[in-house]
Amino acid sequence: MPIQQFETDYKSPRIVKIAGSYPGITRSEILAVSSNPSPPQGQSTFDFSQPGDPNVGTVAIEGSSTVYGCVDPVVIISDHLTLGIPLPEVEKLPIDIVCLVDRGQQFFAERKFLIYTDGDGDGQVQLAAFPSVDEFPQTATILGHVVLMNVPWLPSMKSTKTGFAEADEYF
Protein backbone atom coordinates (compact mmCIF):
# COMPACT_ATOMS: atom_id res chain seq x y z
CA MET A 1 0.00 0.00 0.00
CA PRO A 2 1.52 3.35 -1.05
CA ILE A 3 1.81 5.74 1.90
CA GLN A 4 2.63 9.43 1.90
CA GLN A 5 3.22 11.48 5.02
CA PHE A 6 2.83 15.24 4.89
CA GLU A 7 5.55 17.53 6.17
CA THR A 8 4.77 19.72 9.18
CA ASP A 9 4.63 22.86 7.01
CA TYR A 10 2.42 21.25 4.33
CA LYS A 11 -0.69 23.31 3.52
CA SER A 12 -3.40 21.10 2.08
CA PRO A 13 -5.87 22.38 -0.49
CA ARG A 14 -8.70 24.27 1.18
CA ILE A 15 -12.28 23.37 0.35
CA VAL A 16 -14.30 26.58 0.03
CA LYS A 17 -18.02 26.98 -0.57
CA ILE A 18 -19.25 28.86 -3.63
CA ALA A 19 -21.59 31.77 -2.85
CA GLY A 20 -22.67 32.51 -6.43
CA SER A 21 -21.59 34.23 -9.60
CA TYR A 22 -20.53 37.80 -10.33
CA PRO A 23 -22.14 40.00 -11.53
CA GLY A 24 -25.56 39.50 -10.03
CA ILE A 25 -24.67 38.14 -6.59
CA THR A 26 -26.21 39.93 -3.63
CA ARG A 27 -24.99 40.77 -0.17
CA SER A 28 -27.25 38.18 1.49
CA GLU A 29 -25.98 35.44 -0.85
CA ILE A 30 -22.37 36.18 0.12
CA LEU A 31 -23.16 36.29 3.82
CA ALA A 32 -25.36 33.14 3.77
CA VAL A 33 -22.48 30.76 3.02
CA SER A 34 -20.59 29.35 5.98
CA SER A 35 -16.86 28.65 5.95
CA ASN A 36 -14.64 26.16 7.73
CA PRO A 37 -11.34 27.05 9.40
CA SER A 38 -8.04 26.11 7.79
CA PRO A 39 -6.90 22.63 8.78
CA PRO A 40 -3.83 22.37 11.02
CA GLN A 41 -0.62 22.47 8.99
CA GLY A 42 0.44 19.02 7.90
CA GLN A 43 -3.12 17.65 7.91
CA SER A 44 -5.87 17.15 5.33
CA THR A 45 -9.21 18.90 5.07
CA PHE A 46 -12.64 17.41 4.42
CA ASP A 47 -16.08 18.75 3.65
CA PHE A 48 -19.27 16.92 4.55
CA SER A 49 -22.60 18.41 3.54
CA GLN A 50 -24.95 19.10 6.42
CA PRO A 51 -28.69 18.48 6.01
CA GLY A 52 -29.59 22.06 7.04
CA ASP A 53 -26.96 23.83 4.91
CA PRO A 54 -28.02 25.63 1.74
CA ASN A 55 -27.24 23.57 -1.33
CA VAL A 56 -24.02 25.26 -2.49
CA GLY A 57 -21.11 23.97 -4.48
CA THR A 58 -17.54 23.74 -3.26
CA VAL A 59 -14.16 24.08 -4.88
CA ALA A 60 -10.71 23.04 -3.70
CA ILE A 61 -8.16 25.86 -3.77
CA GLU A 62 -4.49 24.88 -3.84
CA GLY A 63 -2.87 25.22 -0.43
CA SER A 64 -0.68 28.27 0.10
CA SER A 65 0.05 30.85 2.80
CA THR A 66 -2.54 33.19 1.25
CA VAL A 67 -5.28 30.56 1.21
CA TYR A 68 -4.31 29.20 4.63
CA GLY A 69 -4.47 32.71 6.10
CA CYS A 70 -8.05 33.42 5.01
CA VAL A 71 -10.21 34.01 8.08
CA ASP A 72 -13.66 33.60 6.47
CA PRO A 73 -13.28 32.47 2.83
CA VAL A 74 -15.96 32.15 0.18
CA VAL A 75 -15.70 31.70 -3.59
CA ILE A 76 -17.39 33.77 -6.26
CA ILE A 77 -17.36 32.56 -9.86
CA SER A 78 -17.00 35.16 -12.60
CA ASP A 79 -15.53 35.22 -16.09
CA HIS A 80 -12.51 36.82 -17.72
CA LEU A 81 -14.58 39.20 -19.87
CA THR A 82 -16.49 40.65 -16.88
CA LEU A 83 -13.30 41.03 -14.83
CA GLY A 84 -11.21 42.40 -17.71
CA ILE A 85 -8.56 39.68 -17.45
CA PRO A 86 -6.61 39.45 -20.70
CA LEU A 87 -6.51 35.96 -22.23
CA PRO A 88 -5.48 34.86 -25.73
CA GLU A 89 -7.61 36.60 -28.37
CA VAL A 90 -8.85 33.25 -29.69
CA GLU A 91 -10.91 32.90 -26.48
CA LYS A 92 -14.16 34.59 -27.51
CA LEU A 93 -16.46 32.83 -25.02
CA PRO A 94 -16.35 33.70 -21.31
CA ILE A 95 -13.83 31.61 -19.34
CA ASP A 96 -14.70 30.92 -15.70
CA ILE A 97 -12.49 32.56 -13.07
CA VAL A 98 -12.54 31.38 -9.45
CA CYS A 99 -12.35 34.39 -7.10
CA LEU A 100 -11.40 33.65 -3.49
CA VAL A 101 -12.82 36.29 -1.15
CA ASP A 102 -11.83 36.65 2.51
CA ARG A 103 -14.88 38.03 4.32
CA GLY A 104 -12.68 38.45 7.40
CA GLN A 105 -11.03 41.50 5.77
CA GLN A 106 -13.77 44.12 5.94
CA PHE A 107 -11.62 47.24 5.81
CA PHE A 108 -10.44 49.57 3.07
CA ALA A 109 -7.02 48.99 1.51
CA GLU A 110 -5.56 50.94 -1.38
CA ARG A 111 -5.17 49.08 -4.67
CA LYS A 112 -6.75 45.89 -3.28
CA PHE A 113 -9.79 44.39 -4.95
CA LEU A 114 -12.78 44.76 -2.64
CA ILE A 115 -16.20 43.16 -2.63
CA TYR A 116 -18.68 45.79 -1.49
CA THR A 117 -22.28 46.95 -1.65
CA ASP A 118 -23.52 50.49 -1.83
CA GLY A 119 -25.19 51.05 1.54
CA ASP A 120 -26.57 48.54 4.04
CA GLY A 121 -29.30 47.04 1.84
CA ASP A 122 -29.25 43.74 -0.03
CA GLY A 123 -28.10 45.27 -3.29
CA GLN A 124 -25.88 43.65 -5.84
CA VAL A 125 -22.24 43.25 -4.93
CA GLN A 126 -19.56 45.25 -6.71
CA LEU A 127 -15.93 44.25 -7.25
CA ALA A 128 -13.34 47.01 -7.69
CA ALA A 129 -10.02 48.42 -6.54
CA PHE A 130 -9.47 52.05 -5.62
CA PRO A 131 -6.20 54.01 -5.65
CA SER A 132 -7.22 55.98 -2.54
CA VAL A 133 -9.93 56.07 0.12
CA ASP A 134 -11.18 59.38 -1.37
CA GLU A 135 -12.38 57.50 -4.47
CA PHE A 136 -14.19 54.79 -2.49
CA PRO A 137 -17.98 55.43 -2.23
CA GLN A 138 -18.80 56.98 1.15
CA THR A 139 -21.97 54.91 1.66
CA ALA A 140 -20.42 51.56 0.66
CA THR A 141 -20.09 48.57 2.96
CA ILE A 142 -17.05 46.32 2.44
CA LEU A 143 -17.87 42.60 2.54
CA GLY A 144 -14.31 41.33 1.95
CA HIS A 145 -11.12 41.37 -0.10
CA VAL A 146 -10.43 39.32 -3.21
CA VAL A 147 -7.25 37.51 -2.18
CA LEU A 148 -6.81 35.14 -5.13
CA MET A 149 -8.12 34.61 -8.66
CA ASN A 150 -7.57 31.26 -10.34
CA VAL A 151 -7.30 31.47 -14.11
CA PRO A 152 -7.49 28.07 -15.82
CA TRP A 153 -4.85 26.82 -18.21
CA LEU A 154 -6.29 26.67 -21.72
CA PRO A 155 -5.00 24.92 -24.86
CA SER A 156 -4.76 28.33 -26.55
CA MET A 157 -2.05 29.22 -24.01
CA LYS A 158 0.48 26.84 -25.59
CA SER A 159 3.85 28.40 -26.06
CA THR A 160 5.06 29.14 -29.55
CA LYS A 161 7.71 27.02 -31.20
CA THR A 162 11.19 27.72 -29.96
CA GLY A 163 13.02 25.85 -32.69
CA PHE A 164 14.40 23.32 -30.23
CA ALA A 165 12.85 19.86 -30.45
CA GLU A 166 13.43 19.28 -26.74
CA ALA A 167 11.29 22.29 -25.81
CA ASP A 168 8.54 22.09 -28.44
CA GLU A 169 5.50 19.87 -28.12
CA TYR A 170 5.21 19.65 -31.90
CA PHE A 171 8.34 19.45 -34.02
User: Is the pLDDT reported for residue 76 higher than 70?
Assistant: yes
What is the tens place of the pLDDT at every residue in 34-72? 888 887 777 777 777 666 666 678 898 888 889 989 999
Residue 119 confidence class, pLDDT cut points 50, 70, 90: confident
Average pLDDT, the chain: 85
Q: Which of 107, 96, 167 is nearest to 141 (CA)?
A: 107
> Cα(149)–Cα(12) distance, rounded to whole angstroms?
18
The pTM score is 0.82
Phi and psi of 19, rounded to 5°? -85, -30
